[in-house]
Amino acid sequence: MKTNQLNPSTIVSLCKEILRRNAGRPQYATLTVRELLAATGVNPNVDPELQSILAELTRDQPQETLSLEQTLPIDTSPEEQFRKEIIDFYIPKQLVDAIIANGGIPKDSIETQIGVGFIDVADYTFLAKFLSPKENQILLNGLYTAFANILKKHGGYLNKTEGDSIMFHFGGLIDPKVKNLSHKEALQYISSELFYTCVEMQKTCDLFNEANPALIDQLIETEEKEAVKAAFQIIHFMRNDSVLANSFNALFQIRIRIGANIGEVSIGNFGPPGNKRWDVIGIAVIDAKRMESTAPIGGLRISEAFYNILNENGIVDKYYKEFKAEAERKGGYFKEITKDELFHFSSVILKDKKNVTFRTYSVQVNPSLPESIQEQIGLLLYKGDIGAEKIVELVQYYRGNRHVIRAIEDLFQKKNIFIRKGKIIFYMFPKRYRQFVHRMENDPNKFESYAQRKYQLFDLMRALGNYQDQLKLPPRTFEQSTVFRTYDQYMNAEIQHINYQYKRTIRNAIHNTYFFNVIFPLVFKSIKASILEYQLAKQKETAPLTLEEEEETLEEIQAV
């Protein structure tokens, strides 16, 4: 603890707490307090209560002077030493330092503004299949060590880790940087630190995924370096092993999603006696978790309130210029990205929460994301059916990102993978497809050639998305105001109206069911079939000759 950074009133409060807790050991308590006062230069006479307590405790003490070390309780119990090790191992030092600086354990929770973030490793259940339980532990510990270092640098607090996800926050009692700030200044500080922490964590994940030694160089503590090195050893082995490398590099990509929000929470100690936990609770925390669950893989999702604070403080424009400049320097697909694409607004609807709608922004982080996905798909092309399935999942996931889809289509064209765009139009809009074909002399091949020239893959993905968005809209309802004349007249009119609304609801339900169970899967099955077609052709090119083919080849050579 850096006592020279504490004000006199805090030192006095801390002295009172020491005296109170060690009332049964007066000599130890008074010596501890006197050394603390001497080290900080605080005069005990500034507080009459402290002066009175010290006088009372020292009245009956022997005159000989003992050192502080001599007054320390003698504890040779292995169990007690083990208990201390457990406490030091599990209780965050950052929390202990903050409570000491506070002058005591806060008994009551307070309402305050904080910034909170959640991180989740995408598809980790699938990734975990590549590793043993011990290797999974080492890998996650290394990743979390890298994340904790970022939080330490920005002043954030690692609230908890749960399996393959973590929670962190800025602000509140344990964030000393907000103590002397106004409400507006605190929000500016919290929003900036939270946003750039999230961005840096995504970039750190990319370095970790590559086992980049630059990540180790950023660490200070030996224990931290060893944790990340141990994780890198696993990644290096899997990526370079002659048997495992192809599958591992194609299928094992550590990617995270991050959700973040700013809002008012209750922060303090929660839980029964003997099992207290320093935590934050509130709607802002729940919403941050929901941001994470719908966040883009490799990016962030932030609430509209968070975005507005960033925008007001110029961080949105600043980040866009930084991102755009880096993308242009690399000459990648994102060099043409717009600010609206970098901070993409969307309303997220949670069907499992009674269609609760959140106004959010998804944020891109990696300027080389399209190239990264393109490279992964290039490897997946050689992994048979499971590779084709993973490619389709990537196309499906990034279907709203024109830059990523363009990178994927460029790879398909380079590899001569024939995506039947005409067929995809047929699966989505069969009536319109027939009209097109009719105009082209009822020749489906002519329309296929036309579709290849006319439409990019992203055009089809966007049309599919628009189709889906239309189905998301709730069915229109018509309020009917029936004038009451008689019972029979009123009920007949209402029966007709309710039956009409019922038929509309059934029709909408049928459309939804047909789309999600027929149209949507057929579109992506068509893409998968094209990939399987390519894989089969490649297998034939490299397949060994049969005995009959060898004899025919030999006869041809002899004839020549």
Please state the domain extents for the chain.
3-89, 110-365, 390-420+450-542
Instruction: Identify the sign of the CA torsion 103, 106, 107, 108.
Output: positive
Q: Which of the residue ranges 111-120, 270-279, 493-502, 540-549 would you say has the lowest mean pLDDT? A: 540-549
pLDDT exceeds cutoff 70 at 65: no
Distance of CA 156 to the CA centre of its chain: 16
Q: Which two tokens stand for residue 525?
A: 């099955």
pLDDT exceeds cutoff 80 at 493: yes
Q: Give the pLDDT confidence score for residue 59 in this predicted structure.
A: 59
What is the rounded average pLDDT of the residues 24-40?
Answer: 71
Q: Give the pLDDT confidence score for residue 396 in this predicted structure.
A: 93
What is the rounded average pLDDT of the residues 298-314?
Answer: 92
pLDDT exceeds cutoff 90 at 100: no
Q: Give the pLDDT confidence score for residue 254 in this predicted structure.
A: 82
Angle formed by the axes of helices 369-380 and 384-397, nearest 10°: 160
pLDDT exceeds cutoff 60 at 377: yes
> CA–CA separation, 384 vs 505, rounded Å?
43
CB–CB of 181/189 below 8 Å? Answer: yes
Alpha helices in 23-132 (DSSP H): 26-40, 48-58, 68-71, 78-90, 93-102, 124-127
Q: Which two tokens stand for residue 265?
A: 């929470």
Strand intervals (E) in 91-182: 110-121, 157-162, 165-170
Q: How confident is the model at residue 543 (pLDDT cuts 50, 70, 90)?
A: low
Amino acid letter for position 115: G
Q: Give the pLDDT confidence score for residue 461 in this predicted structure.
A: 95
> CA–CA separation, 293 vs 358, rounded Å?
12
Output 527 or 31, whichever has higher pLDDT: 527
Amino acid letter for position 463: A
| CB-based burial label for 557 (10 Å; 0-12, 13-18, 19+) | exposed
Amino acid letter for position 476: R
pLDDT exceeds cutoff 80 at 426: yes
- Residue 326 has a CB neighbour count (10 Å cut-off) of 15
- Residue 506 has a CB neighbour count (10 Å cut-off) of 11
Strand partners, 110: 267
Q: Which two tokens stand for residue 342?
A: 């970098």
Q: How confident is the model at residue 393 (pLDDT cuts 50, 70, 90)?
A: very high
Q: Which of the residue ranges 58-72, 216-230, 410-424, 517-531 would you say has the lowest mean pLDDT? A: 58-72
Q: Give the pLDDT confidence score for residue 472 in this predicted structure.
A: 72
Strand intervals (E) in 171-309: 256-270, 277-281, 300-303
> CA–CA separation, 523 vs 459, rounded Å?
13
- Residue 162 has a CB neighbour count (10 Å cut-off) of 9
Residue 253 contacts by C-beta under 8 Å, 6 or more apart in sequence?
209, 376
Q: Which of the residue ranges 416-425, 426-435, 499-508 would you say has the lowest mean pLDDT? A: 499-508
Output 163 or 86, whichever has higher pLDDT: 163
Phi, psi (deg, nearest 5) at residue 116: -130, 140
Strand 300-303 and strand 256-270: the pairing is parallel
Mean residue pLDDT across the chain: 82
CB–CB of 196/154 below 8 Å? Answer: yes
Q: Give the pLDDT confidence score for residue 545 in this predicted structure.
A: 52
Q: Give the pLDDT confidence score for residue 311 in this predicted structure.
A: 94
Q: How confident is the model at residue 68 (pLDDT cuts 50, 70, 90)?
A: very low
| CB-based burial label for 513 (10 Å; 0-12, 13-18, 19+) | exposed
Q: Which of the residue ranges 196-205, 246-255, 332-341 would you say has the lowest mean pLDDT? A: 246-255
Q: Give the pLDDT confidence score for residue 28 in this predicted structure.
A: 67
CB–CB of 531/392 below 8 Å? Answer: yes
Q: Give the pLDDT confidence score for residue 1 in this predicted structure.
A: 43
pLDDT exceeds cutoff 60 at 553: no
DSSP 177: G
What is the rounded average pLDDT of the residues 183-205?
Answer: 92
DSSP 329: H
Alpha helices in 313-456 (DSSP H): 315-330, 339-342, 369-380, 384-397, 402-414, 421-428, 430-439, 444-454
CB–CB of 394/527 below 8 Å? Answer: no
Most confident of 34-38, 356-360, 510-514: 510-514
Q: Which of the residue ranges 55-64, 177-186, 301-310 would you say has the lowest mean pLDDT? A: 55-64
Which numeric CATH code is attached to 110-365?
3.30.70.1230
pLDDT exceeds cutoff 70 at 6: no
